[in-house]
C-alpha cells in the first residue's frame, strides 16, 4: 500500500510539472510564432505532445533552422550580387540572346552593318590559271644555226633590259654554216607569211593571237638580218622584262628561228577560266570575273584591273569537257603569272538582292548562320539560306530582312561566346 501511495504522488507531481511546462512553452511558442510571423516564415509548425522535453527541443530546432535560413538569405544575396556582376558585363534579357557587352565588342573588333538591298550578279565558281599575255611576251629566237652558249643571266625569273644578250650562237666549223644566207632565207619566209595573213586579220578571219605570232617571227627574222656574221649571232631580248621560260640548253645545237627563251613584261596578264560544258548556255552572259590566286587570300576584281574578255579559244591545251574563257588585265598588283586561281565568273546583274560579306557567315553541320544585334549588348543567332558568292560577298535568299543589323566582322567570336557561355578571354575578379 505504501508503494502505491508513492507512485500516486509521483504521478501528481509529474502532471503538475507538465502543466506548468506546457503553459510556459505555449507562451514561448507564441513568441516564436510572433517572431516567425514578423520574418514571414510560414513553414514553422508547433508540435504539441505529451513529452514537454521533445516539444522544447523542436522549438529550439526551429530557432536554429530560422537562423540557418537567415544565413542562407545572406548567401542568396551574395549569389545575386555575382549574378548582377555577370549581367553588368554582358546582359541579355531573352534566353535566346547572346550576351556581349559593348566594351568587349569594341575590344574584339566586332562590327555590324545595316542590311540593305542592292544589285548582285549571277556567279559561276570555276578554276583556272594566270598566264602571261601574248601581246606582252617576246620570244628570243636563234638568229642563225649553231651551238648555243648561254650567259649567266639566262635563268628563269631573271630580269633583263631591252637589248640584253643572254647567249651567243656559233656556226664556226659547222658545214654549211653561212649565217647571212640563212638569215636572208628566214626573213623572206617570215615576210611572205605576214603578208598573207594581214588581210585575213583585217577581215577577222584569224585571231589577233595568230597575227601577233606571225608579226613577231617577222620582226625577229628582220633583226637577224642585221646582226648575223660568219662567226655566229647573239641571242638578245627585244623588250625589258622577266625571263619566264628557258626553251634551250647550254651547248645545244639550234636551228635558225628556234626559240631560246621567253621574256614577259608582266604589264598585262591573262586569266584563263575553265568553264564546265554544262554552263555553255551561260557563256554569253559572262562579263567579268573575280579571282583569288593560290598563294594569297586576297580576291582581285578584274573590273578594277582594266579586265576584258579577249577570246573564248584556247591559249593552251585544257582538260576535255571545259570551255576556256580568257580575260586580259593590267598587272597593277604584282600578280604572279603561272599561278593557279579560284575564279568567280560574273554574269547577269540582278536587282533588289540582299548580300553580306562572307565574314558574316558561320557554318554548323552544313547549315549557315548570321548574328543579328538586337540591342546594344545582345545578339541573336539566325539561320540563313545562301545563294551564290563572288569571293567577297554572298547572296542571302532568306533569314534576314532589310534593316536588320548584322555582325559582319567578328562573327566567329560571337559564335564562340554563345558556345562557351562567356566572352572569350573574359574573367571575373572579386
Closest CA to 420 of 408, 412, 410: 412
Query: With 90 as the cut, is the pLDDT of residue 70 above it?
Result: no
Whether the model pTM is above 0.85: no
What's the confidence (pLDDT) of residue 41? 39
- DSSP secondary structure, 181-221, as one string: HHHHHHHHHHHHHHHHHHHHHHTTSS-HHHHHHHHHHHHHH
The pLDDT value given to residue 101: 84
Give the pLDDT confidence score for residue 72 in this predicted structure: 44
Whole-angstrom distance, CA of residue 239 vs CA of residue 162: 4
**What whole-number distance in Å separates Cα of residue 17 and Cα of residue 21?**
6
Dig out the grid coordinates for 217 from the structure: 617571227
Whole-number average pLDDT of the chain: 76
- Predicted pLDDT of residue 87: 40
3-class state of residue 354 by DSSP: strand
Say what the pLDDT of residue 121 is.
Answer: 86
> Which residues are registered as beta bridge partners of 309?
327
pLDDT of residue 38: 42
Helix (H, G, I), strand (E, B) or coil at 116: coil
Which cell numbers hold the place of 94? 531573352
Only one residue has cell 558568292, namely 389
Task: Note whether 393 and 123 are within 8 A (CB).
Answer: no
Q: Are 238 and 219 in contact (CB under 8 A)?
A: yes
Give the alpha-carbon dihedral of 115, 119, 125, 130, to 10 degrees.
Answer: -110
Average pLDDT over residues 17-28: 42
| Residue 42 DSSP symbol | T
pLDDT over threshold 70, residue 156? yes
What would the pLDDT profile of 107-154 be if each residue is shown by its tens digit?
Answer: 889 999 999 999 988 899 999 999 888 778 889 999 888 889 999 999
Higher pLDDT, 18 or 323: 323
List 389's β-bridge partners, or say none.
394
Are 112 and 373 in contact by the 8 Å Cβ rule? The answer is yes
Which of 13-22, 139-148, 276-285, 405-414 has the lowest average pLDDT?
A: 13-22
CB 130 within 8 A of CB 273: no
Distance CA 328, CA 309 (A): 6
Mean pLDDT to the nearest integer, 185-193: 88
pLDDT (tens digit, 9 = 90+) per residue, 214-267? 998 998 888 777 655 445 688 999 899 889 889 999 999 998 889 999 998 888
Res. 430: pLDDT tops 80: no
Amino acid at each position: 500500500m505504501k508503494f502505491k501511495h508513492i507512485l500516486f504522488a509521483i504521478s501528481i507531481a509529474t502532471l503538475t510539472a507538465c502543466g506548468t511546462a506546457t503553459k510556459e512553452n505555449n507562451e514561448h511558442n507564441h513568441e516564436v510564432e510572433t517572431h516567425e510571423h514578423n520574418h514571414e516564415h510560414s513553414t514553422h509548425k508547433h508540435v504539441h505532445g505529451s513529452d514537454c522535453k521533445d516539444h522544447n527541443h523542436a522549438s529550439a530546432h526551429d530557432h536554429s533552422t530560422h537562423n540557418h535560413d537567415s544565413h542562407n538569405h545572406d548567401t542568396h544575396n551574395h549569389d545575386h550580387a555575382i549574378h548582377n556582376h555577370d549581367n553588368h558585363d554582358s546582359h541579355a534579357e531573352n534566353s535566346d540572346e547572346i550576351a556581349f557587352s559593348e566594351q568587349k565588342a569594341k575590344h574584339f573588333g566586332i562590327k555590324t552593318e545595316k542590311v540593305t538591298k542592292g544589285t548582285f550578279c549571277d556567279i559561276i565558281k570555276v578554276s583556272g590559271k594566270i598566264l602571261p599575255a601574248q601581246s606582252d611576251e617576246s620570244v628570243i629566237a636563234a638568229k642563225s644555226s649553231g651551238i648555243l652558249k648561254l650567259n649567266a643571266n639566262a635563268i628563269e625569273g631573271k630580269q633583263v633590259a631591252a637589248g640584253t644578250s643572254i647567249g651567243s650562237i656559233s656556226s664556226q666549223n659547222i658545214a654549211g654554216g653561212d649565217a647571212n644566207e640563212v638569215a636572208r632565207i628566214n626573213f623572206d619566209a617570215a615576210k611572205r607569211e605576214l603578208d598573207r595573213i594581214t588581210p585575213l586579220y583585217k577581215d577577222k578571219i584569224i585571231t589577233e593571237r595568230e597575227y601577233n605570232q606571225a608579226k613577231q617571227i617577222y620582226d625577229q627574222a628582220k633583226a637577224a638580218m642585221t646582226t648575223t656574221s660568219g662567226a655566229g649571232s647573239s641571242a638578245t631580248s627585244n623588250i625589258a622584262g622577266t625571263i619566264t621560260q628557258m626553251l634551250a640548253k647550254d651547248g645545244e645545237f639550234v636551228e635558225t628561228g628556234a626559240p631560246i627563251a621567253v621574256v614577259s613584261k608582266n604589264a598585262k596578264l591573262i586569266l584563263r577560266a575553265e568553264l564546265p560544258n554544262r554552263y555553255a548556255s551561260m557563256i554569253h552572259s559572262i562579263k567579268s570575273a573575280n579571282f583569288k590566286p593560290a598563294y594569297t587570300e586576297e580576291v582581285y576584281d578584274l573590273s578594277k584591273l582594266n579586265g576584258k574578255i579577249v577570246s573564248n579559244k584556247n591559249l593552251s591545251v585544257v582538260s576535255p569537257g571545259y570551255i576556256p574563257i580568257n580575260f586580259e588585265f593590267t598587272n597593277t598588283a604584282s600578280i604572279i603569272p603561272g599561278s593557279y586561281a579560284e575564279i568567280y565568273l560574273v554574269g547577269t546583274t540582278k536587282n533588289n538582292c540582299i548580300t553580306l560579306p562572307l565574314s558574316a557567315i558561320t557554318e554548323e553541320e552544313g547549315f549557315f548562320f548570321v548574328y543579328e544585334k538586337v540591342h546594344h549588348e545582345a545578339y541573336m543567332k539566325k539561320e540563313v539560306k545562301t545563294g551564290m558568292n563572288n569571293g567577297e560577298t554572298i547572296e542571302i535568299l532568306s533569314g534576314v530582312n532589310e534593316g536588320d543589323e548584322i555582325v559582319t566582322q567578328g562573327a566567329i567570336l560571337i559564335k564562340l561566346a554563345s558556345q562557351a557561355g562567356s566572352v572569350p578571354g573574359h574573367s571575373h575578379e572579386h
